[in-house]
């Protein structure tokens, strides 16, 4: 059996690098370099989380994410989840920057954790997950933690 130590990076296909960078910079990511002959921008945040923005997508999907938004479900990665220091502060930042929360805040799975889901400009799904906080001033939390 192979021993995997950690996640090294996540690759996210995007259509427009400048547009994607403007979005991911809101989450503290900065471009460190572009990969040689490949259309890949390597970005990292202060926690040293690395994303590879693969900027060769064809933007003819009518605004849909082919893995998430169409009725036929194809195999593939559906989202990346980032742990955040404060879910309340994260929701406020999203609201201040006009970034739509597509689901949440919601509790499911492990007790004491709350998630919100959003989309990047290319409709890739991002989950922000943090410890449960008082979110009454932000509309409260839907609780699906006891559903099967």
The tens digit of pLDDT for each residue in 93-109 reads: 999 999 999 999 998 76
Mean pLDDT of the chain: 90
97: its two tokens: 């920057």
User: What is the residue whose two structure tokens read 């932000």?
Assistant: 138
* pTM recorded for the entire structure: 0.89
Domains of the chain: 7-59 (3.10.180.10), 78-148 (3.10.180.10)
Look at residue 110 and tell me whether its pLDDT is greater than 70. Answer: no
**Contact between residue 121 and residue 14 where contact means Cβ atoms under 8 Å apart:** yes
pLDDT band at 127 (very low <50, low <70, confident <90, very high): very high
Instruction: Give pLDDT, residue 148.
Output: 47
* DSSP 3-state of 21: helix
Distance CA 74, CA 117 (A): 20
CA distance 107 to 68: 20
pLDDT band at 67 (very low <50, low <70, confident <90, very high): confident
């Amino acid at each position: 059996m192979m021993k995997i130590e950690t996640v090294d990076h996540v690759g996210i296909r995007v259509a427009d690098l400048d547009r994607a960078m403007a979005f991911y910079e809101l989450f503290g990511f900065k471009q460190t370099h572009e990969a040689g002959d490949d259309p890949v921008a390597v970005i990292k945040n202060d926690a040293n989380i690395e994303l590879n923005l693969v900027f060769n997508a064809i933007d003819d999907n009518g605004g849909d994410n082919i893995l998430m938004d169409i009725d036929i479900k194809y195999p593939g990665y559906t989202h990346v989840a980032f742990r955040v220091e404060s879910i309340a502060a994260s929701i406020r930042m999203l609201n201040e920057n006009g970034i739509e929360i597509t689901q949440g805040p919601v509790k499911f799975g492990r007790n004491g954790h709350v998630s919100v889901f959003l989309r990047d400009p290319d409709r890739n799904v991002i989950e922000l997950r943090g410890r449960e906080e008082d979110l009454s001033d932000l509309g409260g939390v839907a609780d699906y933690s006891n559903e099967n």
